Each structure stands twice: as C-alpha cells, then as structure tokens.
Amino acid sequence: MSDSILVINCGSSSLKFAVLTDEGQTVLLEGIAERLGESNSTLTFKKEGLKESISLPEGTHKSAVAEIKKWLDNRPTILNSLTGIGHRVVHGGETFSQSVLIDQNVIDGIAECANFAPLHSPAHIIGMYAAIELFPGVPQVAVFDTAFHQTLAAEQYLYPIPMALYRQHHFRKYGFHGTSYRYISRRLAEIEPNSLQQGVLVAHLGNGASTCAINKGKSTDTSMGITPLEGLMMGTRCGSLDPSLLSFIADAEGISSAQALDVLNKKSGLLGISELSNDCRTLEDAMASGNESAKLALDMFAIRTAKYLVSTATTLDRIDHLVFTGGIGENSSYIRAAICQQLKAFNIHIDSDKNALRGATMNIESAQSQTKVWIIPTNEELMIALDTINLIRQ
C-alpha cells in the first residue's frame, strides 16, 4: 500500500478523522467522534460504505485518538503505511502563515492564539499530544484555517478601532475557511490555469459560511473576522451587525455579554429567523410546504451573501470567476439562484438548467454572464494531507 496520511480535525466536542492514500486521492477510512465531554460519546468508523459505531465511555479527545489507534492496530497494512498525521487548526493568529511540522514551539504558538478560539485551540492541542504519544515517530503537521488570509493588506485586516488595541492585543481580521479556499484556488487552476492570474470570488457556504476574494492566487479579502462570527448570516451565527446590539441584548434580557454573544453565535442566523432549524435542507423542505419563516431565513441568507460577495470583490480588478462551495454552495440550487439574482448589476448570470444540477465540479453561468460561475466541491482533508506530505518530504 502506498503512503497514507491520517487527518485529524478536533472540534470543541467532536473529532473528525480520515486516512487518505494515493497522494491524498483515496479515502481509506473516515469517521467522527461525537458528543465528546458528554456521557453518551460515540465513535463512528466508515470504510468502504460500511459504518460501525462504538461508545466512548471516557468521552475525551484522547480516548477517541486511542480508539482510532486501536482500530488501526488491527489493520497493520494501513497502520504500517502511515507516514504522517495532519491536524486542522482553526486559529494560527499572526504567527502562522503556512502549514508547519509540529514541535513544542508550534504547540506553544497555537496555545498563544487560544484566546481567539477558546473552544477549538485547547481541543487541537489535546489531539496533538494524544497523536504524538500514540503514534511515536510519525511526523505531525499543523494546517491553519487562518493562514491563507495572512496575505491581506493592513487596510483590509485592521478594524477601525484604536491602533493600540491591535498593537497590544492583535485584535484584527484573521478570516477562516482558508484551507478550503486554498483547495478551491488550486482546483480551479487545474481546470482553468489562467485563473491563477485572475480575480476569483468564492462563497464557502456551509453551516459556517464566508466569502473570499482571491487575486492572482492570493487572498485579498474575506468576510470572517477575528472569530468566525463576522460576515455572512450562517446556520446559527448572526454574521455582521451593529456591535451596539450586544449590550442591548444583554441589558434587555438581563444576561451577561458572554451570554449575549452566545445568542449571536448559537441561536441566530437561519435558526434565529426561521425559528425552525439551522439546516438549509430542512428549511428548503419547509419552504416547499409553505413555511414563510423558512423562506424569509433562506432569502435573507442569500441576500446577505450577495452583499458580502460584492464587498470582498472590491479587492479584485475583475470578477473572472465566482465559485460556490460548502454543503449549501454545492447543493442548494435555490440559494445559488437567489444569490446570483442579486448580482445582475455585476453581469453575473446563471443558467437555470445547469444550476439545477449539483454535487460535481461544473460551470453554471449563462451565455450573457461576464463571470464564469462554478460549483466546486471543497476538500479540506485532501489539502491537509497534501501539506503533510509536502512538509514530510522536505
């Protein structure tokens, strides 16, 4: 078996993993540990279409990595082919502008960024220590969601607040989904090599959602900020709004600002408006049955996405390509059509028959469109595996 890479993505209460081989092209195994930190944690393995779930009595990230190791111990062909482990890291602050081999300095650097991602960074670090202990001698790589956006100019990444706050506390826009945007830029260049010299606008629309402008292969602006709360309306996040609302909500509801922030992170967005669900598919089904709130939530999502696409596009000379990706971007023809409807003034038009298709890489613009419009399924695991392979080979 050719070299394989274990990709680990530790979230606050979950751990997703995959083993990729053939230069990242083949997924041998994937799975997820869910409800970590609770009494009913489970670990699910998926291999060749078969699913197997076990309970995780300890319910920790470390016990999840230990069970993955145990599973691999029983499949020595895969275990012996493992040449590296790639970890997804949400926040690399200003310290990390590219993927790096993990050593103690790197772990310390990730810990220093933890105040910006307090739920994720500690989980990443636990996952790294567990993997280092359980897979001794296997090189480990950290791949950062923020790294791709380190090319933003100061005019784009600074907030118009006192400069001392930036100097002392590094309060600035960092942006996220960078691994996805890097993959999209690379994949588009495989199909359209000229795109590396052109202006590309990407909408990564999933439960978390953001936009990115990529000029000549480099990120020039993105909608998310110091945390993934800024920018687009999302599944449960409000996106950008007047910051005064935070204290209005806290005062009106008699809650702390941390609790008010929780409302904006976990109870807003599609869920807050529809009062039904954060899930686009559920809302589309409800809309089809006449639910007006579901339609309002979806239409607001589309309109606000279009606004941010235009705003991020101000860093491009031309919008040569518009790419939709993420669970919603790849699958929802309703949302894509509603977004492009708002972009007519920018000469972006899609073909409704092509837009009805989904799932594969394809272009869906109509003949009159001055911008090529694409659906490209993202593949962050592949990007993490490729970075891991490249760093190990260096």
Binding site, residues? 9, 16, 88, 204-208, 279-281, 327-331, 380
Q: Which value, to the nearest 10 degrees, does the dihedral of the CA atoms of residues 367, 369, 372, 377 take?
A: -90
Cβ nearer to ligand AMP, comparing 12 with 83: 12
- Kindly state the smallest distance separating residue 328's Cβ from ligand AMP, in Å: 4
- Kindly state the smallest distance separating residue 327's Cβ from ligand AMP, in Å: 2
Give the binding range for ligand AMP (CB under 6 A) out of 81-89, 141-149, 158-166, 321-329.
Answer: 321-329
How far apart are the C-alpha atoms of 245 and 257, rounded to whole Å? 10
Query: What is the distance between the terminal CA atoms of the chain, rounded to a whole angstrom?
Result: 22
- Kindly state the smallest distance separating residue 272's Cβ from ligand AMP, in Å: 14
| Nearest alpha-carbon partner for 203 in 232, 175, 225 | 232
Cβ nearer to ligand AMP, comparing 225 with 329: 329
Residue nearest to ligand AMP (CB): 327
Angle at 207 (CA atoms; ends 220, 251), nearest 5 degrees: 90
- Kindly state the smallest distance separating residue 358's Cβ from ligand AMP, in Å: 7
Characterize the bridge pairing of strands 218-222 and 140-144.
unpaired
Q: Which of 22, 73, 108, 145 is catalytic?
A: 145
Residues 181-201: b if buried by 16+ CB within 10 A, e if exposed: bbbbbbbbbeebeebeebbbb
Interface mask (CB under 6 A) for ligand AMP, residues 266-285, using x and -? -------------xxx--x-
Residues 193-252 that bind ligand AMP (CB under 6 A): 206-207, 235
Q: Is 3 a catalytic residue?
A: no
| Nearest alpha-carbon partner for 369 in 348, 393, 354, 385 | 348
| C-alpha dist (Å) from residue 65 to 58, 101, 141 | 12, 19, 16
Cβ nearer to ligand AMP, comparing 216 with 358: 358
Contact 362, 321 (CB under 8 A): no
- Applying CB under 6 A, the site for ligand AMP has a residue count of 12
Cβ nearer to ligand AMP, comparing 235 with 272: 235
Characterize the bridge pairing of strands 372-375 and 321-325.
parallel
Q: Which helix (H) or strand (E) holds 67?
A: helix 61-73
How far apart are the C-alpha atoms of 103 and 105, rounded to whole Å? 5
Give the binding range for ligand AMP (CB under 6 A) out of 40-48, 138-146, 302-310, 327-335.
Answer: 327-335
Contact 116, 38 (CB under 8 A): no
- Kindly state the smallest distance separating residue 209's Cβ from ligand AMP, in Å: 8
Task: Evaluate the CA torsion angle 113, 115, 120, 123 in order and state its sign.
Answer: positive
34 binds ligand AMP (CB under 6 A): no
- Residue 50's DSSP bridge partners are 47
Instruction: Report the binding-site residues for ATP.
Output: 16, 204-208, 279-281, 327-331
Cβ nearer to ligand AMP, comparing 328 with 386: 328
Residues 78-117 that bind ligand AMP (CB under 6 A): none
- Residue 212's DSSP bridge partners are 202, 222
Give the binding range for ligand AMP (CB under 6 A) out of 24-32, 130-138, 161-169, 326-334.
Answer: 326-334
Instruction: Report the binding-site residues for substrate.
Output: 88
When binding is defined by CB under 6 A, the residue of 65, 132, 263, 328 that contacts ligand AMP is 328
Cβ nearer to ligand AMP, comparing 214 with 328: 328
Give the binding range for ligand AMP (CB under 6 A) out of 113-121, 320-328, 345-353, 380-388.
Answer: 320-328
How far apart are the C-alpha atoms of 249 and 246, rounded to whole Å? 5
Q: Which residues bind ligand AMP (CB under 6 A)?
A: 206-207, 235, 279-281, 284, 326-328, 331-332
List active site positions: 145
